Amino acid sequence: MSSNNHQTFFASPERSLPNEIEKQREYFSQENIFTKMLDAVQSYVFVMNEHRQIVYANSAAKELVNSSGTINLFGMRVGESINCIHAEEMAAGCGTSQFCKNCGAVKSMLNTLKGIEDVQECRITTKNYNEALDLRVWTKPIEVDGQKFIVSNFVDISSEKRKAALERIFFHDVMNTVSTLKGITTLIQDCTPEEKEKYEKEASTFTDILLEEIKAQRDLSLAEQNDLQVNIKTCNSLDIINNVLPLYNVSTFKIKLKIIVDPASEEINFQSDEILLSRVLINMIKNAVESSEEGEMITILSKKKYNHVQLTVHNSGYIPVDVQQQIFQRSFSTKGKGRGLGTYSMRLLTERYLKGKIYFLSNEKEGTSFTIEIPLIFEQ
């Protein structure tokens, strides 16, 4: 057994030595009816030793690992074999970082090492284009020749999660907007001429929001299927901000918030897809609004940084650390089951289609800032 002094924030850092891994592999290396049956299964089956190191993988699991660029998976942990973005956060590897505390796969394995059969869900973001995997994992303890092993069965539930989330988000947002529209049209029927002008303007704003919500769901579906087409043209940073702001006036959110363009903002011309970039900016503003209290201010800043344009949305709210660790994962949300595609879609559109990057900073003293960086010149 390899005993080391590597630091861990969650699971044990210890590993078995290579010669021990080879001996453990022999228990499961013989081809027989059981291994043939497991190879016929389409889900990902791994067998791991008591240090969560892989000693067996069925055909589907090997294909998953090979698609991540891993050549020899034996002795690795699952997160390491599929290039989880947090697998190298700590020297001790998969299961030992702060982020791993929220991983259902690691928690399930640790329960199973205590002799408990378990099932949990996990979201793993890989280094391959920051692709998110939604997985349901079943783990069961077995003992071979006096040694403990974990049998784990990973099932990809990405489509299930995505479909459920898209449906809930679409119906939730559209129903809210339509209900507000209905209320406004009712008021228009019996009001003064001065009030009528005000309500008609609000009805127009909510109609625009409704159209935007429908288009956003359409574009997200296309983006995940790699079918979204980009339309690159010359854009102006302040024009994009000023075109988005009317959708998010104070009356829209029924609370006294002030949303302003930071006076230090620069007017920058660059090449991008204006519609997709506006979509990301809209989500950034929505997140800021939902995290703000009455009377607080939200600022939007446009800045040039080297050969990039930066758009930053800042609010006074603070994102707890455990939420920060999962913020860009598909289906994760603090707003309830089936929500959570907002920040995920922001990263998907930014990194896959706009050739940029998105990140955030959040602390209790300064609040939260989400920033999107887009190259001034779009390279196909």
Residue that finishes a domain, picked among 124, 156, 188: 156
Average pLDDT over residues 29-53: 90
pLDDT of residue 205: 77
- pLDDT tens digits, one per residue of 78-109: 999 999 999 999 999 999 999 999 999 999 99
Residue 37 shares a structural domain with residue 106: yes
Residue that finishes a domain, picked among 156, 191, 224: 156
Q: How far apart are CA 118 and CA 43, in angstroms?
A: 17
Structure tokens at 257: 């918030």
Q: How far apart are CA 321 and CA 159, in angstroms?
A: 28
Contact present, 300 and 259 (Cβ < 8 Å): yes
* DSSP output for 41-107: -SSEEEEEETTS-EEEE-HHHHHHHHHTT-S--TTS-HHHHTTBTTTTSSTT-TT-SSGGGG-HHHH
Contact present, 210 and 177 (Cβ < 8 Å): yes
User: What does residue 302 show for φ and ψ, rounded to 5 degrees?
Assistant: -115, 125
Provide the 3-class DSSP secondary structure of residue 369: strand
Beta bridge partners of 314: 299, 369
Q: Is residue 9 part of a domain?
A: no
Residue 175 shares a structural domain with residue 317: yes
Residue 226 shares a structural domain with residue 82: no
- pLDDT tens digits, one per residue of 292-312: 888 889 999 999 999 999 999
Question: Residue 68 is part of which domain span?
Answer: 18-156
pLDDT bin (cut points 50, 70, 90) of residue 332 is very low
Residue 105 shares a structural domain with residue 134: yes
Q: Is residue 243 part of a domain?
A: yes
The CATH number linked to 79 is 3.30.450.20
Residue that finishes a domain, picked among 156, 185, 202: 156
H or E element that contains 259: strand 258-261
H or E element that contains 358: strand 357-363
Residue 148 shares a structural domain with residue 177: no
- pLDDT tens digits, one per residue of 154-203: 998 877 776 666 566 567 667 777 887 888 888 888 888 888 888 888 78
- Number of domains comprising the chain: 2
Q: Is residue 2 part of a domain?
A: no
Residue 119 shares a structural domain with residue 24: yes
Average pLDDT over residues 133-157: 93
- pLDDT of 347 > 60? The answer is yes
Residue 180 shares a structural domain with residue 139: no
The CATH number linked to 226 is 3.30.565.10
